[in-house]
Structure 1
Amino acid sequence: MPRTLKCAAIQMRSGTGIAANRDDFERFVREAAQSGATYVQSPEMTGLIQKDRGALLESIFPEDEDPIVATAAALSGELGIWLHVGSTPIALGGEMVANRAFLFGPDGKRRAAYDKIHMFDVDLDNGESWRESAIYRPGEHAFTVGIGNACLGMAICYDVRFPDLFRRQALAGAEILTLPAAFTRQTGEAHWHVLLRARAIENGAFLVAAAQGGTHRDGRETYGHSMIIDPWGRVVAEKDDDEPGIVTATIDLDEVLEARRKIPNLKNIRPFKLSDAELGG
């Protein structure tokens, strides 16, 4: 019997006001559920995109008071869907923040939460520079979680450049990998498609990536191009721009078994030692 799941990836252009972002989030979740999606994913920083540290700290809430968390719990229960908040900033007290993803079940209960592990501390061309570690506390634990009869792995944005995270999830049984993101336009144009397809191919897994897109109120530019990729690396759905909206695809989880049968690299892993080679004739 085929194991199918209709997935939706929401593309947003979150701004500096949580209330407006929450309204956009709810509208898109309802639209996705109306289309028949039973797993819905929103992008990284669904609730707020704000690069000014002081303004960010003044705007956010602890998890038990956060309006995005409350809205997601209510919507998932009302609509009977798996709802994955790609992430939203959560106040930890003091001067630190968590970049935290949430997964809610069809009963409205929180099933998992994941704090982004890898911090985007980079210096790009044209003077674009980011230091996430200056305000965000890195996570220390990766997760897989059951959604019905499927197994899902959680990650966020810059995590995509660390393949071992996804490999360990796949080895733990993950059939759907996730990568909600707010990829910069510069890095997205260069690397978004190839990195996502590589993570799907090398793990023989579906990958769902909901993205932020466009020019945000705080001045940053994100790439968009939310997509769903199959275990053979084919893009089965893509929002081929940076405009807000949704993309959907019905995935057949038996394709994971078939891809891993054809290329059983997860079974073929062998231990090895890495040493300095001796030079000479």
Structure 2
Amino acid sequence: MQLVAIQMNSGADITANLAYVATQLALVDFAIKPTLILLPENFALFSHRDDYLAHAEVLGRGPVQQQLADWARQYQCWLVAGSFPILSDIDERIYTSSLAFDPNGELVQHYHKIHLFDAHVPAVSVTTNDNQAKTVFKKELNSQIYKESDSFIAGDRIATFSVGNITFGMAICYDLRFPGLFRALSAANVDVLLVPAAFTYATGKAHWLPLLQARAIENQCYVIAANQVGEHGHNRHTWGHSVILDPWGDILSQQTSACGISCARLDKHKLVQVRTDIPILQHARFTASLKNKE
């Protein structure tokens, strides 16, 4: 099976963001079947609260979801749209949701982000290189406070789906910091962990790869992580470095600070071997469960 992560620099223009996805899908070798594509968090719209509310769609209906379904059908692939605003029953509050489409264009699973990013991100210095001009640019990003709970409602269930004999578990960005969620997915016999993200530059530089490798190693799963990258305006700068990891925590494919795709093959025998050699899940004496909302 082929796993593909698309790294993007999304903004407030939905048409432009979707056009970029189309250019990247055209580069994938869909002769390899099955193929699963993962888009990053906020792939179609990386903006502000008012924009999210204005463009939120009913689950299973709407122009963005229709485009995703059309692509999945056109390329006969599994397409997981990192996150998109989905309407809730509460006025002025929405879900941020990951959406999984099968090769028939059917929405087969959705996941509402459980852990909302209410956090203070420290200031950081961003360094970029212009290799052609042999120039190094440095930019200071101010500290910033994020409060996703002002706009979004937290989900309350884990979500999985299967492609043949491979089971996928869904998560979004900040979820990565909560190993209990991934242990719960492991208990549901997941083989691949999906982590679409818009990890900030500061937190990504410090924690992105170590956290992803920890989730892969401790759960003995493949991990496919598609991140946003670059400047998004209003002091927003994301880390990039989308990556695909095997159950040993080894990097199979990785982007750095440019947009593009990462591809790797899933080896079911590697999964079985790692889990047989060190049967962590059989030895585990602790369980994970979701706390009730307060």
TM-score, scaled to structure 1: 0.90
Indicate conservation of the 8 Å contact 2:30/2:77, yes or no.
no
Q: Which residue of 1 aligns with 2:71?
A: 75
Inter-partner Cα distance in structure 2 for 1:62 and 1:140 = 18
Q: Which residue of 1 aligns with 2:36?
A: 39
| Residue number among 239, 250, 253 corresponding to 1:237 in the alignment | 253
Q: Which residue of 1 aligns with 2:194?
A: 178
Query: Equivalent residues in 2 for 1:122-201 (5 A)?
Result: 122-126=119-123, 127-201=143-217
Inter-partner Cα distance in structure 1 for 2:62 and 2:47 = 16
Inter-partner Cα distance in structure 2 for 1:135 and 1:159 = 17
Aligned residues: 266
Please tell me whether residue 105 in structure 1 is matched to residue 102 in structure 2: yes
Inter-partner Cα distance in structure 1 for 2:259 and 2:53 = 26
Q: Which residue of 2 aligns with 1:223?
A: 239
| Residue number among 9, 13, 25 corresponding to 2:9 in the alignment | 13
Question: Which structure shows the bigger proportion of residues in strand conformation?
Answer: 2
Question: For residues 28-79 of structure 1, what are the alpha-carbon distances to aligned partners after superposition, in whole Å with 9 as ceiling and x for unaligned?
Answer: 223225574711110011110113x223323433334433211110111111
Question: For residues 191-250 of structure 1, what are the alpha-carbon distances to aligned partners after superposition, in whole Å with 9 as ceiling and x for unaligned?
Answer: 000000000000111000011100014541110000000000001100022x21101011
Structure 2, unmatched stretches of 5+, are: 124-142, 288-294
After TM superposition, give the deviation of residue 251 of structure 1 in Å.
1.6
Q: 1:265 to 1:221 in 2, by over 3 A?
A: same
Q: Which residue of 2 aligns with 1:276?
A: none
Inter-partner Cα distance in structure 2 for 1:207 and 1:180 = 10
Moved more, 255-264 or 89-98: 89-98
Q: 1:25 to 1:67 in 2, by over 3 A?
A: farther
| Residue number among 250, 253, 261 corresponding to 2:265 in the alignment | 250
Q: 1:271 to 1:140 in 2, by over 3 A?
A: closer
SS at match of 1:88: strand
SS at match of 2:193: strand
Q: 1:261 to 1:185 in 2, by over 3 A?
A: same
Q: Which residue of 1 aligns with 2:81?
A: 85
- State the identity as a percent: 36
Inter-partner Cα distance in structure 2 for 1:20 and 1:166 = 33
Amino acid at match of 1:245: G
Amino acid at match of 1:264: P
Q: Which residue of 2 aligns with 1:279?
A: none
Inter-partner Cα distance in structure 2 for 1:247 and 1:7 = 8
TM-score, scaled to structure 2: 0.86
Inter-partner Cα distance in structure 2 for 1:171 and 1:61 = 32
Root-mean-square deviation over aligned CA pairs: 1.7
Indicate conservation of the 8 Å contact 1:50/1:218, yes or no.
no
Amino acid at match of 1:46: F
